[in-house]
């Protein structure tokens, strides 16, 4: 928390001053946020779900979203992040504790972080043994692929879930929910088609909004992806831009 407080203040100081320095600070802070997300501190639950820009107002009252949300960061590769970070340290742009947490954060941000898939297993309340593969687990994203009893069923949460077995259970429950709701899904599909027919042309984004709006009551909270493809495979329903 001390590191994130220092980085939030450093970030604020660079708004309107230096895009490069601001970007390095932000990327360093994401490494510290990842650590926070795995812990049980007061802000850990929020840190598992949101971007650092949305975490800063919780860290420091000095961060006013109406002022500082106007400032963006740049896209930088690892070499550029390290180069700018070295310059920040070389020219002592901040005090020593801040330089230390920036340096650690950038070293973590630029290291090889290829995720190694892990096998997971859990028993469902109905006694079924669920097996799957954890393919991503970090702040802002946890993803699994179920292997049994349903093959290649993918579940995703846009947050860090520390016990991935929870996501595997969610995917299993959602599968059962969708199949029990087949009649309702088919009824909503008729409504969906009617909404598309009302428009002369529909962009991919508009179709996406219509889909989410019409099927909201059965999709709400689901972890299964992608629902259009699943509805097509399970129930034979056709959707534009399916792939």
pLDDT digit string, tens, across residues 21-60 = 999 999 999 999 999 999 999 999 999 999 999 999 999 9
Please write the tens of the pLDDT for every residue from 110-162. 997 789 999 999 999 999 999 999 999 999 999 999 999 999 999 999 999 99
Q: Residue 92 contacts by C-beta under 8 Å, 6 or more apart in sequence?
A: 99
Q: What is the pLDDT of residue 212?
A: 95
Q: What is the pLDDT of residue 202?
A: 84
pLDDT at 243 over 70: no
Please write the tens of the pLDDT for every residue from 152-203. 999 999 999 999 999 999 999 999 999 999 999 999 999 999 999 998 888 8
Q: What is the pLDDT of residue 114?
A: 84
Confidence band, pLDDT 50/70/90 cuts, at residue 242: low
pTM listed for this prediction = 0.88
pLDDT at 81 over 80: yes
Query: H helices of 1-151, where?
Result: 2-13, 19-38, 44-47, 52-59, 65-68, 78-90, 96-110
**How many C-beta atoms lie closer than 10 Å to residue 146's C-beta?**
22
Residue with more model confidence, 242 or 90:
90
Q: Where are the domains of the chain?
A: 2-110, 114-177, 181-243
Q: Which two tokens stand for residue 195?
A: 């909404």
């Amino acid at each position: 928390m001390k590191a994130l407080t220092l980085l939030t203040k450093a970030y604020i100081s660079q708004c309107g001053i230096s895009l490069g320095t601001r970007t390095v600070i932000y990327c360093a802070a994401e490494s510290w946020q990842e650590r926070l997300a795995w812990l049980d501190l007061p802000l850990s639950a929020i840190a598992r779900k949101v971007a650092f820009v949305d975490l800063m107002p919780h860290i420091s009252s000095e961060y006013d979203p109406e002022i500082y949300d106007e400032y963006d960061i740049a896209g930088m590769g690892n070499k550029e992040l390290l180069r700018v970070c070295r310059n920040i340290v070389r020219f002592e742009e901040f005090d020593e504790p801040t330089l230390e947490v920036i340096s650690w954060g950038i070293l973590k941000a630029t290291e090889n972080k290829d995720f190694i898939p892990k096998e997971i297993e859990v028993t469902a309340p109905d006694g079924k043994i669920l097996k799957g593969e954890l393919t991503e687990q970090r702040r802002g994203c946890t993803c699994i692929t179920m292997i049994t009893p349903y093959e290649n069923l993918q579940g995703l949460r846009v947050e860090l879930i520390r016990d991935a077995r929870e996501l595997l259970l969610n995917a299993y429950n959602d599968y059962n929910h969708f199949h029990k709701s087949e009649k309702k899904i088919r009824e909503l599909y008729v409504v969906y088609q009617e909404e598309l027919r009302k428009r002369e042309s529909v962009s991919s984004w508009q179709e996406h909004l219509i889909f989410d709006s019409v099927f909201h009551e059965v999709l709400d909270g689901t972890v299964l992806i992608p629902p259009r493809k699943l509805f097509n495979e399970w129930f034979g329903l056709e959707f534009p831009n399916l792939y």
